[in-house]
Amino acid sequence: MRIRGKGQAVSVHRRTKLLAKGAIDVKGDLDLGAQWPGSPFYRSGYLHVAPGGSLEVTGSFRFFTGLQVDVDKGASLVLGSGYMNSDARIFCFNSVTIGEDVAIAEEVMIRDSDNHEVSGRPHPSAPIVIEDHVWIGMRCTILKGVTIGSGSIIAAGSVVTRDVPPTSLAAGVPATVRRSGVDWQ
């Protein structure tokens, strides 16, 4: 395992594994498997960076219990600041970038590849970008090739299959913009 960076703080909580054969560059803080204060529940989790894959942490980012994070060979995961709540999933086969001050609720899945052929066509993969100050509700799915603009909110249970403009509220399956000019502070 190679962890680079000056003054980095990497915390790996009980029943959580950091499996790293690829590069990890922590410029801020990375907290893996944290438990909500007062919660009696704790689930196992892991962060896996395959050989040739990379994880970069630019701010302070926290994953709560039950995380499943896979960074494949040649893929890049960049984390700014914020958190992913319990049972969150990131499957990175190309590129996933999460900006600053991002709040991601329980059971969210972020996946930048289909991982299988359909009718003989190769499985497509495309980068995902979640810009700054985004709030993603519980049980959302964010799929390949999507950019979620700064200040946006994704309603619980939504499946995001196309770009969401900045300061928008998107909801549904597939998610569509329901309101513009939102501010969730």
Domains with residue ranges and CATH for the chain: 2-180 (2.160.10.10)
Q: pLDDT tens string for the chain (185 positions)?
A: 456 655 568 889 988 999 989 999 999 999 999 998 887 878 899 999 999 999 999 999 999 999 999 999 999 999 999 999 999 999 999 999 999 999 999 999 999 998 776 677 776 899 999 999 999 999 999 999 999 999 999 999 999 999 999 999 999 999 999 999 999 87
Contacts 24+ apart (CB under 8 A), 150-154: 150/99, 151/182, 151/183, 151/184, 152/182, 153/182, 153/184
Distance in angstroms between the alpha carbons of the first and the last residue of the chain: 38
pTM over 0.85: yes
